[in-house]
Amino acid sequence: MSPVEPDAGAAGPAEKPRHRPSRAPRTPMPERGAAERAQDFDEVALGYTEEMARAEAARCLQCRNATCIEGCPVNIDIKSFIGHIIDGEYEKGVAVLKERNALPAMCGRVCPQEEQCEIACVLAKKGEPVAIGRLERWLGDFDLACELEKRCVPEIAEPTGFRCAIVGSGPAGLACAGELVRLGHKVTIFESLHAPGGVLTYGIPEFRLPKAIVEAEIFMLTEMGVEIVTDAVIGATYTLDELMTEEGYDAVFIGSGAGLPVFLGVPGENLNGVYSANEFLTRVNLMGAYEFPKSDTPVARGRKVAVIGGGNVAMDSARTALRLGAEEVFLVYRRTEDEMPARREEVHHAREEGVEFKMLCSPSEILGRDGFVTGLVATRMALGEPDDSGRRAPVCVMDSEFEIDCDIVIVAVGTRANPLLAQAAPDLERSSRGYVLTDDEGATNIPGVFAGGDIVTGAATVILAMGAGKTSAHAMDRWLAGRSRAV
Amino acid sequence: MFEIVHKRQLSEAVFEMGVRAPRVARKARAGQFFIMRTTDRGERVPFTFSDWSAEGGWIRFIFMRVGKTTHELSHFEVGDSVADVVGPLGIPTHVEDVGRIAVIGGGVGAAVAYPVARAMADAGNEVTVVLGARNEDLLILREEFEALPLKELLVVTDDGSAGEKGLVTAPLKRLAEAGEIDHAMAIGPAIMMKFCAATAKEHDVPCVVSLNPIMVDGTGMCGACRVSVGGETKFGCVDGPDFDGWEVDFEELMSRQRVYVDDERAADADYSRGCSCHQ
Ligand SMILES: Cc1cc2nc3c(=O)[nH]c(=O)nc-3n(C[C@H](O)[C@H](O)[C@H](O)COP(=O)(O)OP(=O)(O)OC[C@H]3O[C@@H](n4cnc5c(N)ncnc54)[C@H](O)[C@@H]3O)c2cc1C
Ligand SMILES: Cc1cc2nc3c(=O)[nH]c(=O)nc-3n(C[C@H](O)[C@H](O)[C@H](O)COP(=O)(O)OP(=O)(O)OC[C@H]3O[C@@H](n4cnc5c(N)ncnc54)[C@H](O)[C@@H]3O)c2cc1C
Ligand code: SF4
Ligand code: SF4
Ligand code: FES
């Protein structure tokens, strides 16, 4: 299956010339200029051209021991798909990707590659790793650009007659659904919002992950036979129990995410103009508020916007606020840039576009007049001893309070498990913080009910959620097989 | 898509509508609401069930034309469809036999008060309904209330064009003073609920209110609907919409309801220009 033998001196297979890795530096990603892109919601990174993809793929050593594969949470056969790009056999490359990842155009864009597959690439030890994520994106886009009939649809097993229900259409639910249909089960996804995709749709902004890509990848799943029912809140429209009894599903996967926004708990937080990142991003992404009044949902457009937090969600909020026309956007974070959990690339993009970083300060009060935000009181912080997470904990500097002038405050300090589903399924075992407890394969304490993604791990990443969805799909498949024998 | 199966104009700006939504109808309970999007570009707007039929597969609600979405919705006819209906959302009103209860419905709040009063009466309570409106024209559901097994129906209008002249707090105060009620439930504009809760509290009568903060998802995901109750932040959509009226910070609620007034006015003006009902 692997296209070419490793470079380690051995002679290549007779029919193909031996791959000679290029020594060229890593191919940069073409991007729109910061000044231009900060004005609109179009994608920032333009993607490789075919030549760029070929040039970047040529850097891969096609290692005998391809360590990169271990770095990918879903163990994509990276060496093999890059080998196919080297050989110009793109369809085969797509097939390799889809073997492990139903949504490559998305993961290629939003995966934190630099700490997963790419950090594990042998080239990373000496210099720059192969741009695995960008190549994955290129192949994913290549597939989506094909006529529908020509797209790569994974093989689907004989129908088993079992029906599976999936709660939530985020990456965990989508990956689980994709895998279950491949295994021959009938699958229905129940989504509480009016559009599928979870955070991919309502959270991650258009300029980083175009919604057309999300829609196209979800469409492929429906082509494979996945049914998606929107406007269905499990716990309200149906209970978990009803899915298994009245609705006749044989197994259920819960991928409901960690959608409950956390607030700061400081005075003034309920003033008009204070948003959770979830609300702000949902208004803009899902509801299209940036097109108001063409779309019906408004969002407050501030002149000066303060975003609290240092993760991807904070970066996305800050960059979104800029695009809505804010004159100044501040990122207020209690530690330093080194401790920021956001991807380096996003931090870099945000800075380029003009987001101002106010590090080592923590908001202690939000100020307002006539019900609307007018500013923020922040306290300066210093880094103390390392805490449980190994990062140096911020400590307040006495009497260091100062004011930041702003008319919008966006709170992006994390999310927790949404209690809605759990309220309706009191038997489902959860941790003290509300996350669903499962074994390594996603099985919960209720037979036939599995869970994965952010609702199990807390806020994590797209690919980890997808990996969990897939693992659960196989566990569900085994569980169902056991049942058919028992009947 | 969800088909409109019933429409009735109750007054100049108030409409009753029925929508086919069997999954939602099966679960609806008094005090709960649903979220609707009229079209693909539509906003997610919450409405409380005024009635429903699990067998018939429909839900009903009563809405007042106040802005762009409700304006647009008022032009939908039986046979048309709206893009989305999701629910039932929120915690149902707590219904049990608590004895003697006053249910106060003001404006379109009467639509929400109706199923609550019915459920309270069914549970064995002695129910007095106070029905209020600015004038006779805006008074809705009077006949429906009259058909319920109530102890009494008291009608109040601001201008005296129907029933007693004044505010709903006047009969509430009398009932409380006379010791004729053990509980109150007020549903209507925030300002009305504020004064009802205050009046009830003066007489040590517990008063539940049904809050209507601005919402987006209605499932606890965004926090747009946060309200302060007893000094704590609650999410109206999942922790409510019913709350202990004594504890609610109504000033904050009213302020938060006004956050988009300018945008909303612009959107409705924009819509009205192309709309037949505005010359
Ligand atoms: C703004 C933002 C930016 C991010 N950027 C990145 C990034 O660049 N890279 C990365 O790897 N990760 C990123 N993440 C994290 C990543 O998106 C999440 O870890 C991932 O989406 C989790 O997937 P999930 O399927 O578990 O849950 P979600 O994506 O949250 O999906 C859950 C779905 O379930 C639905 N649901 C919830 N309850 C119910 C119910 N009761 N009934 C029916 N449906 C229900 C929800 O509406 C939602 O659609 C980002 C997150 C955010 C918020
Ligand atoms: C739980 C709940 C139950 C409700 N039940 C009813 C009902 O049974 N009948 C009825 O007529 N109205 C009800 N409302 C209010 C109704 O949702 C608003 O009148 C409607 O959203 C107005 O939309 P619009 O575009 O026509 O007006 P807009 O011009 O957008 O707004 C007018 C006013 O309505 C409120 N509003 C606007 N958008 C929202 C929103 N997304 N969520 C909540 N409030 C909003 C604001 O106070 C705003 O100032 C309810 C609200 C809530 C939260
Ligand atoms: S899915 Fe993510 S981690 Fe895996 S190979 Fe692709 S970019 Fe790397
Ligand atoms: S480790 Fe790097 S160089 Fe080796 S096969 Fe993987 S991507 Fe290519
Ligand atoms: S409406 Fe979004 S949390 Fe209540």
Whether B75 maps to a domain, the answer reads yes
Q: Which of A145, A153, A130 is nearest to A78 (CA)?
A: A130
Kindly determine whether residue A371 and residue B219, on different chains, have CB atoms separated by under 8 Å. Answer: no
Given a contact cutoff of 8 angstroms between Cβ atoms, the answer to whether A236 and A424 are in contact is yes
Nearest CA to ligand 5 atom 2: B222
In this prediction, residue A211 carries a pLDDT of 92
- Listed in sequence order, the residues at least 6 apart from B158 whose beta carbon sits closer than 8 Å to its beta carbon are B133, B134, B135, B165, B166, B167
Whether B228 maps to a domain, the answer reads yes
Residue-by-residue pLDDT tens, chain B, 279 positions = 899 999 999 888 889 999 999 999 999 998 899 999 999 888 999 999 989 999 999 999 999 888 888 999 999 999 999 999 998 999 998 888 888 999 999 988 998 899 899 999 998 999 999 999 988 888 888 888 989 888 889 999 988 888 888 899 888 988 888 888 999 999 999 999 999 999 999 999 999 999 999 999 999 999 999 999 999 999 999 998 999 999 999 999 999 998 888 877 777 787 777 766 654
Residue A6, pLDDT above cutoff 80: no
Mutation pick from A169, A190, A193 vs chain B, by most beta carbons of B within 10 Å, is A193
Task: Looking at the structure, tell me whether residues B124 and B28 fall in a common domain.
Answer: no
What are the tokens at B220? Answer: 């606890």
Q: Which of B50, B64, B78, B60 is nearest to B21 (CA)?
A: B60
What are the tokens at A24? Answer: 């060229």
Given B89, B114, B144, the domain boundary residue is B89
Ligand 4 pocket member A61 (CB < 6 A): yes
* DSSP at B160: S
Half-sphere CA count of B207, side-chain side, radius 13 A: 30
Task: Looking at the structure, tell me whether residues B167 and B81 fall in a common domain.
Answer: no
Ligand 5 pocket member B214 (CB < 6 A): no
Whether B274 maps to a domain, the answer reads no
In this prediction, residue B275 carries a pLDDT of 66
Task: Looking at the structure, tell me whether residues B245 and B114 fall in a common domain.
Answer: yes
- Cβ of residue A300 closer than 8 Å to a chain B Cβ: yes
Q: Where are the beta strands (DSSP E) in A146-231?
A: 163-167, 186-190, 227-229
**Structural Rg of chain A based on CA atoms:** 24
Kindly determine whether residue B217 and residue A276, on different chains, have CB atoms separated by under 8 Å. Answer: no
Nearest CA to ligand 2 atom 9: B63
Q: Which of B224, B42, B44, B231 is nearest to A273 (CA)?
A: B224
Q: How far is B115 from chain A (nearest CA, A)?
A: 19
* Residues of chain A found within 8 Å of residue B89, distances taken between Cβ atoms: 233, 236
Burial class (CB in 10 A: 0-12, 13-18, 19+), B1: exposed
3-class SS of residue A52? helix
In this prediction, residue A49 carries a pLDDT of 95
Burial class (CB in 10 A: 0-12, 13-18, 19+), A145: exposed
Mutation pick from B32, B49, B221, B260 vs chain A, by most beta carbons of A within 10 Å, is B221
In this prediction, residue A3 carries a pLDDT of 46
Domain housing B12? 2-89
User: CA angle, A52 as apex, A50 and A53 as ends, to 5°?
Assistant: 65
**Minimum-distance ligand 2 atom for the alpha carbon of B89:** 1
Task: Looking at the structure, tell me whether residues B200 and B232 fall in a common domain.
Answer: yes
Whether B58 maps to a domain, the answer reads yes
Q: Which of A205, A142, A197, A195 is nearest to A170 (CA)?
A: A197
Whether B242 maps to a domain, the answer reads yes
First to last CA, chain B: 30
* DSSP at A48: -
Structure confidence at residue A14 as a pLDDT band (50, 70, 90): low
Q: How far is B27 from chain A (nearest CA, A)?
A: 7
pLDDT digits (tens, 9 = 90+) for A59-69: 999 999 999 99
* Residues of chain B found within 8 Å of residue A256, distances taken between Cβ atoms: none
Distance between CA A466 and CA A460 in Å, rounded? 11
Which CATH number fits the domain that encloses residue B156? 3.40.50.80
Task: Looking at the structure, tell me whether residues B238 and B105 fall in a common domain.
Answer: yes
**Structural Rg of chain B based on CA atoms:** 18
Distance between CA B226 and CA A310 in Å, rounded? 24
Given a contact cutoff of 8 angstroms between Cβ atoms, the answer to whether B212 and B244 are in contact is no
Backbone angles phi, psi at B78, to 5 degrees: -55, 135
Residue A10, pLDDT above cutoff 70: no
Instruction: Tell me how far the alpha carbon of residue A18 lies from the centroid of ligand 4, in angstroms.
Output: 16
Ligand 4 pocket member A63 (CB < 6 A): yes
Structure confidence at residue A396 as a pLDDT band (50, 70, 90): confident
Whether B241 maps to a domain, the answer reads yes
Mutation pick from A201, A233, A413 vs chain B, by most beta carbons of B within 10 Å, is A233
Query: What are the counts of helices (DSSP H) followed by strands (DSSP E) for chain A?
Result: 18, 16
Instruction: Tell me how far the alpha carbon of residue A279 lies from the centroid of ligand 1, in angstroms.
Output: 14
Give the number of domains in chain B.
2
Q: Which of A279, A478, A305 is nearest to A408 (CA)?
A: A305
Structure confidence at residue A37 as a pLDDT band (50, 70, 90): very high
Kindly determine whether residue A260 and residue B220, on different chains, have CB atoms separated by under 8 Å. Answer: yes
In this prediction, residue A484 carries a pLDDT of 64
Whether B95 maps to a domain, the answer reads no
In this prediction, residue A422 carries a pLDDT of 74
* Residues of chain B found within 8 Å of residue A191, distances taken between Cβ atoms: none
pLDDT digits (tens, 9 = 90+) for A211-233: 999 998 899 899 999 999 999 99
**Minimum-distance ligand 5 atom for the alpha carbon of B222:** 2
Task: Looking at the structure, tell me whether residues B16 and B129 fall in a common domain.
Answer: no
Q: How far is B28 from chain A (nearest CA, A)?
A: 9
Mutation pick from A296, A373, A454, A455 vs chain B, by most beta carbons of B within 10 Å, is A296
Kindly determine whether residue B267 and residue A296, on different chains, have CB atoms separated by under 8 Å. Answer: yes
**Minimum-distance ligand 1 atom for the alpha carbon of A463:** 11
In this prediction, residue A395 carries a pLDDT of 87
Task: Looking at the structure, tell me whether residues B74 and B151 fall in a common domain.
Answer: no
Ligand 1 pocket member A201 (CB < 6 A): no
In this prediction, residue B194 carries a pLDDT of 94
Distance between CA A446 and CA B228 in Å, rounded? 36
Report the largest interatomic distance among the alpha carbons of chain B, rounded to a whole angstrom: 54
How many other CB atoms are there within 10 angstroms of residue B54's CB atom?
13
Q: Which of A219, A233, A235, A229 is nearest to A187 (CA)?
A: A229
In this prediction, residue A1 carries a pLDDT of 43
Ligand nearest to the CA of B138: 2
Ligand nearest to the CA of A137: 3
Task: Looking at the structure, tell me whether residues B79 and B106 fall in a common domain.
Answer: no
Amino acid occupying residue B166: G
Whether B265 maps to a domain, the answer reads no
E strand or H helix at B113, and its extent? helix B109-122
Weakest-pLDDT range from A265-279, A288-302, A319-333, B58-72: A288-302
Burial class (CB in 10 A: 0-12, 13-18, 19+), A392: middle
Residue A471, pLDDT above cutoff 90: yes
Task: Looking at the structure, tell me whether residues B28 and B116 fall in a common domain.
Answer: no
Task: Looking at the structure, tell me whether residues B246 and B130 fall in a common domain.
Answer: yes
What ipTM was estimated for this complex? 0.93
**Minimum-distance ligand 5 atom for the alpha carbon of B236:** 4
Nearest CA to ligand 2 atom 53: B212
Which CATH number fits the domain that encloses residue B20? 2.40.30.10
Mark out chain B residues that contact chain A at CB-CB < 8 A: 23-24, 27, 37, 41-44, 68-69, 83-89, 216-217, 219-224, 226-228, 233, 238, 252, 255-256, 258-260, 263-264, 266-267, 270
Please give the residue of chain B at the shortest CA–CA distance from A279: B222
Kindly determine whether residue A297 and residue B216, on different chains, have CB atoms separated by under 8 Å. Answer: yes
pLDDT digits (tens, 9 = 90+) for A445-470: 999 999 999 999 999 999 999 999 99
* Residues of chain B found within 8 Å of residue A167, distances taken between Cβ atoms: none
Percentage with pLDDT > 90 across chain A: 68
Residue A28, pLDDT above cutoff 80: yes
- Listed in sequence order, the residues at least 6 apart from B34 whose beta carbon sits closer than 8 Å to its beta carbon are B21, B24, B28, B46, B47, B49, B59, B61, B85, B86, B87, B88, B89
In this prediction, residue A149 carries a pLDDT of 77
What are the tokens at A123? Answer: 């080239």
Instruction: Tell me how far the alpha carbon of residue A165 lies from the centroid of ligand 1, in angstroms.
Output: 18
Task: Looking at the structure, tell me whether residues B142 and B180 fall in a common domain.
Answer: yes
Q: Which domains does chain A have, with CATH numbers?
A: 42-150 (1.10.1060.10), 163-259+416-481 (3.50.50.60), 263-413 (3.50.50.60)
Higher-confidence residue of A399 and A308: namely A308
Ligand 2 pocket member B112 (CB < 6 A): yes
Task: Looking at the structure, tell me whether residues B76 and B169 fall in a common domain.
Answer: no
Instruction: Tell me how far the alpha carbon of residue A196 lies from the centroid of ligand 5, in angstroms.
Output: 18
How many other CB atoms are there within 10 angstroms of residue A387's CB atom?
10
Ligand 2 pocket member B235 (CB < 6 A): no
